[in-house]
Amino acid sequence: MSLNQLLSSIGNIIPLNKSEREELSQRVVERKIKRKQFILQESDICKHYTFVAEGYCRKYKVDDKGAEHNLQFIAENDWITEINSFYFETPSRVFIEAMEPAVILQISKPDLIYLYSSSPKFNRIFRVIIENRFAELEDRVLHNISSTAEERYLAFIKTYPQLSSRIPNTQIASYLGITPEFLSKIRKNLSQKP
């Protein structure tokens, strides 16, 4: 089931032929992850690109005061990694944690490089995945420097429509850079608008 999700998701970018689907299938490993289990911890080397088949994950940073800052959420049929650590084999600067019981499919760097060399389609597929993530990050940075908290919340809902009801308010507030109380006020104000 989860392998079919992965193949379908990739097929939405560029359709794969039978041998390419088999190559990919042989190079991914499925894992079941418990709620609150880490996929990556800060200071570890990120060794996998991770496709989330079930559940959702968050990527976050812990600052010097111990406060958590959510950077990204990833739900079903999407990818997450710490790209700097993955490609340059440097210690991760972030944590990636399952927020619900999850099923993930992972591909290692050597296997990904093999796929790049075996078919130009894989190179293009992962380039599109990275480009999409970069565009999302760029949008987030622009919202953080030029939008009100309410506008950032509306952008969050647009970016994560399938997650807004699954993520606790404290996690959403952390992502938006506001307090949970202020988030409640924003939601109340929005519910009262015509």
Phi-psi region of 89 (alpha: psi -120 to 50; beta: other; left: phi over 0): left
Note whether residue 139 is domain-resident.
Answer: no
The percentage of the chain sitting over the pLDDT mark of 90, rounded to a whole number, equals 87
Residue 142 lies in a domain: no
Residue type, 21: R
Looking at the structure, tell me whether residues 96 and 159 fall in a common domain. Answer: no
Q: Do 85 and 180 belong to one domain?
A: no
Q: According to the model, what pLDDT value does residue 192 have?
A: 87
Conformation bin of residue 55: beta by default, left when phi > 0, alpha when psi is -120 to 50: left
Contact 33, 98 (CB under 8 A): yes
- Mean local confidence (pLDDT), 67-72: 93
Range of the domain at 16: 2-133
Q: 140 lies in a domain?
A: no
pLDDT band at 193 (very low <50, low <70, confident <90, very high): confident
| Confidence at 10, pLDDT banded by 50, 70, 90 | very high
Please state, in angstroms and rounded to a whole number, the distance separating the CA atoms of residues 122 and 119. Answer: 6
Instruction: Tell me the per-residue pLDDT of 110-157, one tens digit each, with 9 for 90 and over.
Output: 999 999 999 999 999 999 999 999 998 999 899 889 999 999 999 999
* The pLDDT of residue 152: 94
Domain tally, the chain: 2
Q: How many residues does the chain have?
A: 194
Would you place residue 99 in the very low, low, confident or very high pLDDT band (cuts 50, 70, 90)?
very high
Among the listed residues 116, 128, 124, the one whose alpha carbon sits nearest the alpha carbon of residue 23: 116
Count of C-beta atoms within a 10 Å radius of residue 106: 17
Residue 1 has pLDDT above 80, yes or no: no
- Whole-model pTM: value is 0.91
Burial (CB count <10 Å: 0-12, 13-18, 19+), residue 185: middle
Q: Using the 3D structure, point to which of 109, 133, 157 is the last residue of a domain.
A: 133
Burial of 172 (0-12, 13-18, 19+ CB in 10 A): buried
- Does residue 33 sit in the same domain as residue 127? yes
The yes-or-no verdict on residue 106 having pLDDT over 90 is: yes
106: domain CATH number is: 2.60.120.10
Same domain assignment for residues 50 and 107: yes
